[in-house]
Structure 1
């Protein structure tokens, strides 16, 4: 039995459902909203590569080290982006959250906070994770701020850690949250979402 079983999570008009080939067209449209593949510091596929991107995610799910979700507008069914559990380590009950990107039109809205709240809640409260981690490019300052807003703590920087799409080598900033920190982080995120809804 896989540590992360297929599940659909929903809240505040957002639905996270297991990423499937049926999301190809919607995901390509989401990436086209803002031409996100042109960003040097993300892993967004070019439109013609969307199917291969989904197939790679499904292969990683099969192998047990990544579980990708499509992030969908619950009312319209429009695909807004994608996010994943990855580097899944059942033995120590640890997952990381990443491979996250959204169409430009929903960036800086409640969508990311809601998706992260759902994933963190599922990781800590259902899967019983001891730790949830995040990693991001050292130049992706917006992502670092977003991760810090979730209540995650900076663990450090892995220097010369991974290749970027342009062939340069990136340093990776690592973050984590322990299970004991989750109740306070959850309360803060709910507070932020309530304020945003007003």
Structure 2
């Protein structure tokens, strides 16, 4: 099962902490999602305030099923919840997992946050778990997510048509990306170079460009 390969843990660097998501993060997730009313974005799955507890419970159920390990993303200096991300679609038999269910409070977007989180998750996947492939998937209309994934160095694998239901009841096409273990060293060097330019989360301010 997936939880035998990918276990809950804490990852931290550059002013960011990723900790196992639990019901104790409910109010923090509500506040983070309210920063920008992110549940109104059609192409994401950010929970509405009244559905936040169920969102966490679903993540915990998926962990029990070996399908997902969810994290709360925290500002290391304050402990404030500023988003969430997960490992999911965990396939230990082929050493493949995906990174997704990712969202951040609007005021923290377009900073070094996403790059820092993804670096932590990819580094653990490739260097500790021995993953052969890390994947991503996103809505075909979520262009911001596609650009962010591509900036990480992932390769576009293709589009699965009529793949999943959106929150508004429409059916989406899903854009699939992946990064192979052999590509990781160059991608890691590039991401570290970017972060050296940006500094830590506490040193960066939102801008009009960047992941």
The answer to whether residue 57 in structure 2 is matched with residue 60 in structure 1 is no
The answer to whether residue 16 in structure 2 is matched with residue 11 in structure 1 is no
Cα deviation for residue 49 of structure 1 reads: 0.6
Q: CA-to-partner distance for each residue in 1:76-100, whole Å, 9 max, x for gaps?
A: 0000000000000000000000000
Of the candidates 170, 176, 189, which is equivalent to residue 191 of structure 2? 189
SS at match of 1:121: helix
> 2:107 matched to which residue of 1?
105
Q: Distance in 2 between matches of 1:86 and 1:142?
A: 21
Pairing 1:1-198 to 2, within 5 Å after superposition = 2-197=4-199
Cα deviation for residue 2 of structure 1 reads: 1.5
Count of matched residue positions in the alignment of Structure 1 and Structure 2? 198
Q: Distance in 2 between matches of 1:103 and 1:114?
A: 15
Which segments of 5 or more consecutive residues in structure 1 lack a partner in the other structure?
A: none
TM-score scaled to structure 2, two decimals? 0.93
SS at match of 1:184: helix
Output the aligned Cα RMSD. 0.9
Q: Distance in 2 between matches of 1:105 and 1:4?
A: 31
Query: Runs ≥4 in structure 1, deviation > 2 angstroms?
Result: none
SS at match of 1:34: coil
